[in-house]
């Protein structure tokens, strides 16, 4: 495969021009889903967020080529990492 053809193929996947149709999708078994979560150290949580915040997260996530949940995970990971680097000088949250 030529470099040009390979690059076009990768772009097509990244841009969802190929492989994004429903016929290419199948739900994994609960066992496999659990195994992936365990391997990645993921835990399901429930959190209530403002609808406008979720809409904004979805918009930003789409701009970065992600779903909003993986994007939110990245945002939170980055924030926590930066706060830990501050060495105790954490953001003070003031309730309204």
Residue 21 belongs to some domain of the structure: no
21: its two tokens: 């149709």
Q: What is the DSSP letter of 95?
A: -
> Which residue, among 35, 41, 28, has the nearest Cα to 73 in the 3D structure?
41
Q: pTM for the complete prediction?
A: 0.60
The domain total for the chain is 1
Residue 37 lies in a domain: no
The parent domain of residue 77 ranges over: 48-90
Averaged over successive runs of 10 residues, the pLDDT of the chain (96 residues) comes to: 62 80 85 93 94 96 93 94 80 64
* 30, part of any domain: no
Sequential DSSP letters for 2-62: -HHHHHHHHHHHHTTSSS-SGGG--PPPHHHHHHHHHHHT---------HHHHHHHHHHHH
Question: Has residue 79 been placed in a domain?
Answer: yes
Q: Which CATH number belongs to the domain containing residue 58 in this structure?
A: 1.10.1220
Q: Given this model, what pLDDT does residue 14 score?
A: 78
């Amino acid at each position: 495969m030529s470099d040009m053809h390979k690059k076009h193929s990768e772009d097509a996947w990244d841009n969802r021009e190929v492989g994004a149709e429903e016929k290419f999708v199948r739900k994994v078994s609960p066992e496999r889903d659990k195994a992936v979560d365990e391997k990645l150290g993921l835990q399901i949580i429930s959190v209530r967020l403002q609808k406008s915040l979720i809409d904004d997260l979805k918009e930003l996530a789409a701009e970065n080529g992600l779903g909003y949940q993986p994007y939110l995970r990245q945002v939170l990971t980055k924030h926590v990492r930066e706060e830990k680097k501050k060495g105790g000088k954490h953001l003070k949250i003031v309730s309204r």
